[in-house]
Amino acid sequence: SADLVANARTRGAELRARIELIGSPLVTDIQGRGLLLGIGLSQPVAGIVASRALDRGLIINAANESRIRLAPPLIIGDDELHE
C-alpha cells in the first residue's frame, strides 16, 4: 500500500541519517533506496560486522568482504530502528 511505501521511504532516510551520525571511519559510503541499504566499508570486515550484529540480535548480510546490506522490515517502528 501507499502507507507502506511512504513508511519505507521515511524510515530509510532516518536509518541513513543515523548511520551517518555515528561517523564511523569504517563507513565509506551508503547506497540504496528506502530501507534497502548497502554500506561500504574501508576494510574487508563485513563478515565480522555481520557476526557481531547477529550476537546483538540484528540480522545484517555481508554482501561481500567490504559491504554490508541492511534490509529491515518495511513495517519497522521507532524502537527497532534505534537499535
Domains of the chain: 2-81 (3.90.1150.10)
Nearest residue to 75 (alpha-carbon basis) of 6, 19, 14, 16: 6
| pLDDT, position 5 | 86
Per the confidence metrics, is the pTM higher than 0.95?
no
C-alpha 9, offset from chain centre: 13
Tell whether the model's pLDDT for residue 83 goes beyond 80: no
pLDDT tens string 6-40: 888 999 999 999 999 999 999 999 999 999 999 99
CA angle at residue 47 from 41 to 49, to 5 degrees? 65
